[in-house]
Amino acid sequence: MSTAQLNRKIVNHIDEGVITLGKGSIIHVNSAMEMMTGMDRAELLNLSLSQLLDPPPPVNVQFEGDSCNEKPGRAPVYESSLTMAGAQSCDVAVSVHDVHDGDDGVEILIVRDIAERNKMQQELLKSRQLESIAALSGGIAHDYNNLLTAIMGNISLALTSIPEDEPMYEWLSQAQDAAMIAKELTRRLITFSKGGVPQKETVNIAGLIESATEFALSGSNIIAEFNIAADLWCVDIDRTQIGQAFHNLVINAREAMPDGGTVTVTAGNETAMPDGAVWKDGRYVVVAIKDNGSGIPSEALGKIFDPYFSTKVMGDQRGMGLGLSIANSIIEKHEGKIDVDAPPGEGALFRVFLPASAANCETAARPEKARLSTKTFGSGKILVMDDEAMIRKLAGNILGKMGFETAFACNGEEALAAYEVAMTSGRPFDIVILDLTVKGGMGGKDTIRQLRLLDPNVKAIVSSGYSNDPGVIHYTEHGFSGVVAKPYRIDEIRQQIEEILG
């Protein structure tokens, strides 16, 4: 076997594509190049370099140390698009090696598939975008929700003193509704944060699907058609988060049909979920939302879940490109997946895969709407620890009208001292309400640990603007008896006290 034959055989065994150029024309390709393109050697040899690579890398490049008689240097690398069979293409990186011996020489092009690398870079960029949003929302959530607590709490307190037929009652109710919208905006941003762990319960989501769809389409000229399997499996979900995800997907369908149309919603059971190029076996509840809008341009399909990306014109009736991002984030946190099929001109089909629960469930009834009331229902002492004076004052007003004597602390150290004095005097506190995070002092989680050493039977409610903190989500594991997430209203704190005191 000659040296040339041996070299060609070695080249054919290289896993990466190799193109040999002589005087600018393709004179040889290896087997890996045939596999990458889906074309045989004869087809490839009939192509020019510009037909195969777009843009073609510059050849006849001289650089230091590139000679068969010298130690090889670092070859230049260019990114390009490789032409494949069937008018397909893929992203590649091409390194150019000028091999010469005397007056004769060839260019060797090493072609590497970088589609997976580019995909990983895009996912990393998307992840960093989400982390930026999470950091922003987490940083402002505590202070923002403290302000909303004072606003909502005082409004609900005022509503208890005004007859419902008075005009001022309606005005204050509208202000409270606006504050609730602000609360919802904060909660949507917090959904992005890594700590936004779903608070799961086992439910049949048939009713949730219908209510989220009907609410999203209310006031529009769009009809909803439902086809939900009677034997739909149950799922372990955070009802609020999944309801928000479905709402966002239906809103997306609504905005795709400004002139009206039909949204078809189906739900059934399947035993596989798409997982990249393969299907992942298991038990899944699949909810499909289909519109008859204009579809999604192919070049935009891979970006629809990116934050702030939208194919729609922004305006009074348009969002900020966060709806699908939030929906996707929620579904991923539930170990599910959203699959999209949206050919241009044929509408869009979003299929949501959620892992089915191993437990049985029954459709839960909607809780009755709580009435705003500060009617005296008990007596006793409650200690409130919060670093914000306006929150302490609000809590004192609410608890005072309910019949309780209140004391206050700015941090954990003050709370521990006050609790110990009350125990020693024979007039202990019936409940303590602890803010999870305080500035410049001991927060709620450390304080409850110390209080339990003083009194193993202490009854404590945790309150925080960080509704996604593990101390709030898993409050019983930290020793708390109840939780009220800021911003809260009268009925929420009253309900917690009633449950704890019986």
Please list the rounded mean pLDDT of every run of 10 residues in the chain (502 residues). Answer: 64 82 87 89 89 84 48 72 86 85 75 82 70 63 74 84 85 80 65 61 89 84 91 89 88 88 93 80 93 78 64 45 78 90 85 90 44 57 91 88 90 93 92 88 91 93 76 82 82 86 79
- Spatial distance between the Cα atoms of 160 and 155, rounded to a whole number of angstroms: 9
SS3 per-residue string spanning 62-107? CCCCCCCCCCCCCCCEEEEEEEEHHHEEEEEEEEEEEEEECCEEEE
Task: Note whether 472 and 462 are within 8 A (CB).
Answer: yes
Residues pairing with 341 in the sheet: 349
Cβ within 8 Å of residue 312, ≥6 positions away: 255, 318
Residues pairing with 277 in the sheet: none
Among candidate residues 293, 287, 288, 190, the one with its CA nearest the CA of residue 237: 287
Task: Note whether 192 and 326 are within 8 A (CB).
Answer: yes
Task: Note whether 411 and 384 are within 8 A (CB).
Answer: no
Distances (CA, A) of 203 to 115, 282, 286, 324, 331: 40, 18, 14, 23, 16
- Spatial distance between the Cα atoms of 142 and 151, rounded to a whole number of angstroms: 14
Q: What is the pLDDT of residues 290-338, one digit of tens each?
A: 998 888 777 666 667 776 555 554 443 344 456 788 888 889 889 999 9
pLDDT score of 5: 62
Q: How far is CA 418 from the centre of its chain?
A: 42
Query: Does the global pTM surpass 0.75?
Result: no
Phi, psi (rounded to 5 degrees) for 386? -155, 140
* Strand pairing report for 431-435 and 380-385: parallel
pLDDT score of 269: 94
Q: What is the pLDDT of residues 119-149, one digit of tens each?
A: 777 777 766 766 666 666 666 666 777 778 8
- For 191, the token pair is 């959904």
Among candidate residues 188, 326, 327, 313, the one with its CA nearest the CA of residue 256: 313
Looking at the chain, how many residues does it have?
Answer: 502
Among candidate residues 206, 202, 155, the one with its CA nearest the CA of residue 178: 155
pLDDT score of 119: 75
